[in-house]
């Protein structure tokens, strides 16, 4: 795939724009972080609400996610992977930190990222490979392993939840 191709995530917002905004936020630009929020808050909140059932706790996790993005913007600006993947990792971590005990344990980072990019941001496996800088075969293997891990820990009903 041509390196100049920009994967549209989420819903028409391009990766290059998100990277520029995170770079500006790393330099202290408050308007840039507000724009990152505007462009990503809907899929990020969906991710959070899938992990955390309580709306109040979900709102707290959303607020913490963007505070953490602001604090760590320098990391996002220099990430080798996608900015949206980096954002989803932060949102997932904030969600898991607030999740009720007894829920399934977090997946390895690579597996979690593949599922999050597919489910919450609507990317195909080809797009995930492009965004993460890996091969399609690796994305397929990570996705398969993630679903196997979830099935083993939470049963088929968790797989059905991911598909909805």
Q: Provide the domain count of the chain.
A: 1
Mean pLDDT, range 111-136, rounded to an integer: 82
Distance, in Å, from the CA atom of 62 to the CA atom of 55, rounded to the nearest integer, reads 10
In-domain check, residue 125? yes
Give the range with max mean pLDDT: 47-56, 111-120, 147-156.
47-56
Q: Is the pLDDT of residue 22 over 70?
A: yes
Provide mean pLDDT across the span 39-51. Answer: 90
Q: Is residue 10 part of a domain?
A: no
pTM score above 0.75: no
The per-residue pLDDT for 141 is: 95
In the chain, the percentage of residues whose pLDDT exceeds 90 is 34
User: What is the Cα–Cα distance from 141 to 135, expressed in whole angstroms?
Assistant: 10
Q: What is the DSSP letter of 80?
A: S
**Domain-embedded: residue 71:** yes
Question: How many whole angstroms separate alpha carbon 45 and alpha carbon 137?
Answer: 29
Q: How confident is the model at residue 50 (pLDDT cuts 50, 70, 90)?
A: confident
Q: Can you give the residue range of the structural domain that contains 104?
A: 15-163
Residue at 39 is within a domain? yes
**CATH code for the domain in which residue 102 is found:** 1.10.1740.10
Separation CA 83–CA 103 (nearest Å): 27
């Amino acid at each position: 795939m041509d390196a100049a191709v920009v994967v549209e995530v989420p819903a028409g917002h391009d990766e290059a724009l998100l990277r520029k905004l995170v770079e500006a936020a790393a330099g202290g630009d408050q308007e840039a972080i507000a724009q990152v929020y505007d462009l990503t808050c809907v899929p990020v909140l969906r991710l959070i609400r899938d992990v955390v059932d309580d709306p109040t706790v979900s709102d707290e996790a959303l607020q913490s996610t963007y505070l953490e993005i602001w604090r760590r913007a320098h990391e996002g600006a220099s990430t080798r992977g996608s900015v949206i993947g980096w954002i989803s990792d932060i949102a997932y971590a904030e969600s898991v930190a607030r999740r009720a005990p007894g829920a399934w344990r977090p997946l390895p980072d690579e597996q979690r990222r593949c599922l999050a990019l597919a489910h919450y941001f609507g990317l195909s496996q080809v797009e995930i490979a492009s965004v993460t800088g890996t091969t399609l075969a690796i994305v397929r293997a990570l996705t398969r392993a993630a679903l196997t891990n979830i099935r083993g820990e939470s049963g088929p009903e968790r797989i059905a939840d991911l598909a909805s």
